[in-house]
Amino acid sequence: MSASVVILPGDGIGPEVSVQACRVLETIAARIDLKLKLEEALIGGAAIDSTGGPLPAETLEMCREADAIFLGAVGGPQWADVDVDLRPEQGLLDLRRSLGLFANLRPVKTLPALAAASPLRAERLAGVDIIIVRELTGGIYFGKRGRSETEAFDTCEYSVYEIERICRIAGRLAMQRRKKVTSVDKANVLETSRLWRETATRVYKDEFPELEVEHLYIDAATMHLLSRPAEFDLMVMDNMFGDILTDEASMLAGSLGVLPSASLSVTGTGVFEPIHGSAPDIAGRGIANPCGAILSIAMLLRHALNLGDAADQVESAVRKTLESGARTADLAAVGGGESLSTSAFGDAVLAQL
């Protein structure tokens, strides 16, 4: 089997964690005799500095032709004053739109070894295993927007079609798990949320009658995610709500640095990336946590290349590395003990592989 993967290191700590992710990908590829073609391209601030735009046409074309895409991170304070349509983050938004990446999957699974790193008590974390499914190409981030000296507006818009397709993705995933879906909205206030709840209710009743379906307002969901996290299985929500709740959910796992994500289309290429962002305050210091990046490689293997066994091996290697006591600075600062550099943690994962 052969596969082509485009690597987009991006900005901040993106290049540092991308190196470790690629090492793991190349190691597992050699083990399973996967003929791997890796190509690197520019995105975000690095692309702005080199080409003047956050998503060069060459990068987009390479991504269209690849079997999968790995992204490090985009953004940084040095591009804060750039026009909004040319900021690094716009490159990622344009990539999602161009490739039709409408479904973002963010798994959150707690490990006893990292319980001390979470602000929640250990007993609340037992058995937490959630997938948050976030709609990625609609909503307020892609609606009409404008600004004058005294006013500004951002429009949130959703169609029945957009809501149906994300609910179906969530439904199919839930059927493979504990058969429970929690749909998050703000239907008591927003028209888009009322359409969301009506559509979600219909899709799950007609197409997934075996599922247990729960509806929560976003404000209540933020509370229940901390008070009863183990009761959730799969959560589905719109773009902005998903952006907020996934960062909150990272605290269940102990750090933003340990969580991966996958952005998928109906058919075609997916983008796999850690959720931690570019973290410019620690960029270049060699202390970034590569767990999220490495686990994103596991999601790439599973969802893009249909190599579930290889994905399991990568996830097992990360888990065993953490259970052995290996920690990067973000985790050691809370749990105590000596911290490993980004590359040393990568070495530890490779040793487990």
What CATH number is associated with residue 5? 3.40.718.10
Catalytic annotation, pick one of 219, 281, 309, 312: 219
Looking at the fold, whether 156 and 270 belong to one and the same domain comes out as: no
11 is catalytic: no
Confidence of residue 201 (pLDDT cuts 50, 70, 90): very high
Does any domain span residue 114?
no
Whether 39 maps to a domain, the answer reads yes
Whether 328 has a pLDDT exceeding 90, the answer reads yes
Query: Is there a single domain that holds both residue 249 and residue 298?
Result: no
The reply to whether 113 falls in a domain is: no
Among 186, 204, 233, 330, the one annotated catalytic: 186
Catalytic (active site) residue 185 = no
pLDDT over 80 (residue 182): yes
Same structural domain, 239 and 131: yes
Is 141 marked active-site?
yes
Q: What is the mean pLDDT of residues 189-203?
A: 98
Catalytic residue at 109? no
Catalytic residue from among 141, 180, 217, 320:
141
pLDDT at 250: 86
Q: Is the confidence at residue 129, as pLDDT, over 80?
A: yes
Dump pLDDT digits (tens) for 248-275.
998 898 888 899 999 999 876 799 999 9
Confidence of residue 206 (pLDDT cuts 50, 70, 90): very high
Q: Is residue 190, in this structure, part of any structural domain at all?
A: yes
Residue 277, Cα to own-chain centre: how many angstroms? 10
Verify whether residue 158 is a known catalytic residue.
no
Domain C-terminal end among 253, 283, 306: 253
Q: Say which of 67, 94, 243, 347 is annotated catalytic.
A: 243
Of 129, 154, 247, 347, which one is the catalytic site residue? 247
The whole-angstrom separation of Cα 102 and Cα 90 is 16
Compute the average pLDDT of residues 131-135: 97
- pLDDT at res. 40: 98
| Residue range of the domain that includes 41 | 1-105+256-353
pLDDT band at 335 (very low <50, low <70, confident <90, very high): low
Cα–Cα distances in Å, from 314 out to 30, 174, 244, 272, 317?
13, 23, 28, 15, 5
Q: Count of domains in the chain?
A: 2
Mean pLDDT score of the chain: 94
Structure tokens at 239: 């773009």
Neighbours of 322 (CB within 10 A): 24
